[in-house]
């Protein structure tokens, strides 16, 4: 199924306004930080409302936004205003997209907002969930993976696998290590206990 997506001009205008407001905050004061977060939340509410509003046709069964929509939406975030886009930097667009998709997925699954979801409804939900800044979206929706009891035990004993990052390129290497697991003494004690 091919679904064409075009960003609504009102959504683009709201994102543009919020991004301009973010850029206008220059002082490193508490008020500026609050203003920046408030405007970022506006962007997240706009994008998340559009994604929730796609309905089942816009999402694959695996819980991802359909690739044709994702590509068009990301391009619309980055494209210049003259081209109907929101003129957001690539890095910001990537972050907004990934966090908004996670938020929309969680909202669709757990909070029952449907196809007619508005940015105001998303904003109210964020307030109910005590989401007042970008980091709270990440905490609530992005870093919220369900783990089976077996996996939780394995991660407790062995640890979580963390890829090493190349300091020069910033890319991840294929090598890595387990972190936050038991040390050798703890692992030996665990092996004795399960025998």
Summarize pLDDT for 27-79 with one digit per residue, the tens: 556 678 888 888 899 999 999 999 998 888 888 887 888 888 888 888 888 88
pLDDT over 80 (residue 25): no
82 vs 102 pLDDT, higher one: 102
**C-beta neighbour count of 70 within 10 angstroms:** 16
Distance CA 39, CA 162 (A): 33
Per-residue pLDDT band for 168 (boundaries 50, 70, 90) equals: low
Instruction: Give the pLDDT score at 17.
Output: 83
- State the average pLDDT for the chain: 80
Domain ranges of the chain: 9-142, 149-194
CB contact at 8 A, 142 and 102: yes
Give me the pLDDT at residue 175, please. 63
pTM of this structure: 0.66
Mean pLDDT confidence for 105-124: 87
pLDDT value at residue 127: 93
Output 148 or 103, whichever has higher pLDDT.
103
What element of type H or E holds 165?
strand 160-165
């Amino acid at each position: 199924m091919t679904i064409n997506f075009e960003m609504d001009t009102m959504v683009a205008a709201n994102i543009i306004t919020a991004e301009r407001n973010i850029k206008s905050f220059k002082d490193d004061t508490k008020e500026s930080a609050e203003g920046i977060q408030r405007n970022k939340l506006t962007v997240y509410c706009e994008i998340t409302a559009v994604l929730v509003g796609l309905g089942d046709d816009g999402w694959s069964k695996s819980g991802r936004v359909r690739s044709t929509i994702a590509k068009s939406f990301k391009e619309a975030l980055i494209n210049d205003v003259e081209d109907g886009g929101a003129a957001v930097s690539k890095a910001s667009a990537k972050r907004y997209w990934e966090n908004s998709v996670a938020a929309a997925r969680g909202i669709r699954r757990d909070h029952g907002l449907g196809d007619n979801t508005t940015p105001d409804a998303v904003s109210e939900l964020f307030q109910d969930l005590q989401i007042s800044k970008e980091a709270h979206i990440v905490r609530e929706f992005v870093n919220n993976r369900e783990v089976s009891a077996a996996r939780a035990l394995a991660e407790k004993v062995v640890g979580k696998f963390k890829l090493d990052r190349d300091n020069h390129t910033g890319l991840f290497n294929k090598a890595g290590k387990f972190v936050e697991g038991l040390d050798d003494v703890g692992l030996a004690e665990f092996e004795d206990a399960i025998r």
